[in-house]
Amino acid sequence: MSKRRKSQRTAADTTPRREKVRDVFVPRPFDGLVDESEWIALRELVPAASAPLRLAPALVEEFGDRAATLATVLPMAAPAITKPDGRVLIGLQRHQQSGDVSRDLADALLSALRAEPGGQVAVAPLPGPGPRLQDILVDGPLDITMHDGFDFWLDPGAADDPTVQASLERANAAIYPTVRLTAAKAAYWCQVPEKAHVRWVLPDDEDAALDALARLGAAGTLTLGEQTKFAGMFRAHGRLVPVWDLPEETPAAEWEEPVAQFAKRYAEALTVTDPLDAAGRRARQGLLGRQLTLR
């Protein structure tokens, strides 16, 4: 063996091997959180919103009672940022993610808490085993604030910078109007070009929810009223999200009552435990045929 090859082999033998991180897919990353459906909605449906988070006592003891905020998205889809005053923000919608969204978000929050205030936050794309949101937060209902733009990213006076202002205007231009409805938890109205939608993250087991929707479909009561259409549904983080097409010109507030009435019909359909009849089975197959899975 040549001296060169022998040297290369010796170096390879002495260099520590990088441990390979095994990714694991978790179908319901927000399972166990009180507002599971709202976490899903903020990740998949809502362009601009925020909510304060409460750190678990162990983290408060380690890092102090730091202000932490959940944001739908942060500048450049960053996983987390830390402010000069010690505040930290984590972004639900980000470029890189593992198979466990809860672990990703927990790692981003911990990385931000460990970073110097106002400094860069380094977050691994695959964090590996470790604490999840359920381990590091005081759980409770999310106090969600909807935003018309991303100004909530900025510290006072930051928008005076022309470069920052131009970047903010570009980000705001991508936002479509979205309203959080009060008729049902995790139900949102939004307006996109040439139409509007209501999208609702159902809180129930997928099979039970699908059967209830199938019963309503077989009964002809799956829409939200005249000039509306049940467009289909998608699966997101272990929950079903039905979508309705609506007239573009009707404002969000006028859909509160139709959504409330549908929620009542849906709740009643959930209580039926008899097997689906032939019409219900056909409706169920039709629903499955219009289902899209998001990850």
Q: DSSP for 109-139?
A: HHHHHHSPTTS-----SS--S---HHHHB--
Q: State the average pLDDT over residues 112-124.
A: 93
What was the pLDDT predicted at 294? 65
**Cβ atoms 116, 82 nearer than 8 A:** yes
CA 278 to chain centre: 36
As a whole-number percent, the residues of the chain with pLDDT over 70 amount to: 91
Query: Whose structure tokens read 């976490």?
Result: 39
Question: What pLDDT digit, counting tens, does each position of 230-273 carry?
Answer: 999 999 999 999 999 999 999 999 999 999 999 999 999 999 99
DSSP E strand stretches across 140-227: 145-146, 178-180, 187-192, 195-200
> Does pLDDT of 17 surpass 70?
no
Integer Cα distance of 105 and 73 in angstroms: 12
Question: How many CB atoms within 10 Å of residue 218?
Answer: 20
Integer Cα distance of 69 and 201 in angstroms: 22
Integer Cα distance of 273 and 161 in angstroms: 61
